Amino acid sequence: MAYETQSYAHHQLTLEGREKLTVSGVEDVERFDESMIVMSTSAGTLVVSGENLHIGKLTLDGGELHVDGQIDAISYEEQRYGKGGLLGRLFG
């Protein structure tokens, strides 16, 4: 039996004030605590930082995550390329 991974083409962020964030296209939550949540999305690694952050709802089947708390920053980590760098990936 072949194992298939699901790709989330749809990625969206919805921020209500600075207290509620909904993220779609979530593939995995890599780590979290009250000051930072790091997640893999279909658009790359997303980092949410703030205070008193809580994951209210996480559905990996649907790729949706709800975050409550004081959200100070939302950023994507820089893509890192494997051996050969960008040119190796383009021509490899």
- Residue 4, pLDDT score: 42
User: What does the pLDDT read at residue 86?
Assistant: 53
Task: For the chain, 92 residues long, give each residue's pLDDT as a single digit of tens.
Answer: 444 444 445 899 999 999 999 999 999 999 999 999 999 999 999 999 999 999 999 987 889 999 999 999 999 987 655 544 555 555 55
- pTM, two decimal places: 0.75
From 27, 20, 22, 30, select the one nearest 50 (Cα to Cα): 20
Q: For position 76, what pLDDT does the model report? A: 94
Q: Domains (ranges, CATH) in the chain?
A: 12-79 (2.60.40.2000)
Q: Alpha carbon of 43 to those of 2, 29, 47, 48: distances in Å?
A: 25, 14, 12, 14
